[in-house]
Structure 1
């Protein structure tokens, strides 16, 4: 309010210039508080501690309060002019470590699934403007599985043409682990994967299962054994895998075909002179398909006959 007494004009309202100056000052003051480094982790592990950080710069303003909220409910307050300066509101999954927490860093002890929520750090300046800066983000508490994924339903050996029918299961976590199948290091085609609904225990923990169904081909054993791998992940804080190596067994039809191929390509004729005279009494044997012990017997018999013939000649 600007008053002019000498001229008897009474009091006048604020001039346009004074309003403009006030607006500029207020605008500059509004941006005085700066949040430098706010850390609200996206995930925390059940049973462990979680650390929240809120660094700030008052830019010449005077600090009035620092407050932390979870889902709109205040659980930590720091006012430097109060006595005591710190007030904590524990409960419903919030358990602040008052000995390790400071005005810029909060330690939540032994977080639980109920700790999950949207967390907000709020910095306020002193009167008369009480300017405020804040930052918020969601932190989800995760309960990890007690063990890695389990592969079930498989066999140590498969014949070409057999059907693989296996499951991968990740037990009791929150949220349920995401599963993937790999065949010889490559992610399995979707047509081979069977999805099951996630099951929930009485305590709220979830179990996920993913099936794998495909027919064994010759290509699956090109690089040796068939390798089946399953991975389980939860966000960016959990990754486990399980892999099984399976031997391939060729079918009887494949073996018979190979045997016929060998016989056709390996047939040969051997002549054994059993009578001792050139060109007469020749006995011909085709060795293909004859077992080795039988060939050995025939060769030994021939050798005995030759020795006997030579002995009779010497006596003559």
Structure 2
């Protein structure tokens, strides 16, 4: 049934689209005078998604080219996700989780709150009174203290917000740790180069090559900041590792409970298997060509398996890092 609520602003439209599972937007602006919302969808499904959105809102008009939908004074523009730098497995996984929760609330329980149970191996996390799941925009990831939030989806419940960070099981990297090493990276490279432990070579195009790559063992505090951020804690959030496919969702009508199966649930650093813990690696990336001293180099945070058995990596333990002040 089409939504007959009056939507007057871009912010209201974005929230309505999020409720229906559309979680990725481009340059979302939410001022009272903004009348355009650009939503990202798989390119091959753009026409189908335009028709679907057109059926969601009363009085909606789909453009002849199936690239936009007008609802009252608001124009929804659909653009291909894969052309916007957001076509990741993680985005698709997040969308499946968001859609499944909200559609269960809307269709199976007539819009009333439900109980959500996250399950993985021997772990369970139960939240009652879940009213809806909301996508957390990447633009709001940094809180007032400048710390990075990690939540992808927030469950709005009768007892408050529960944060969920979605990790696709096929993902080999954690979030970029560039911010953690913004000021210390170049000093470390200077010291290791002076000692002859690494070779930094300036290329004709102005970027640098490095040999060998440098791997740094992170401290528990760094893992906490990188993986769990400022908002995920054992009491109000969790990292859930799963592909979130249809068979992972089980609706129990008798007790209004949606059970969601995951491969793993992490609420503390000790929950993460050693092989999946992050390690910081400085390697070449020619696209990073605007850094002040060593353009073409960047810091990444792959899982520990990335460095195991590799001869082209110089590994610095947390103890050895102290020598270099990083």
TM-score, normalising length: structure 1: 0.23
Which has the bigger relative contact order, CA under 8 A and spacing at least 6? Answer: 2
Relative to total residues, which structure has the larger helix share, 1 or 2?
A: 2
Which of 1 and 2 has greater Rg?
1
TM-score, normalising length: structure 2: 0.22
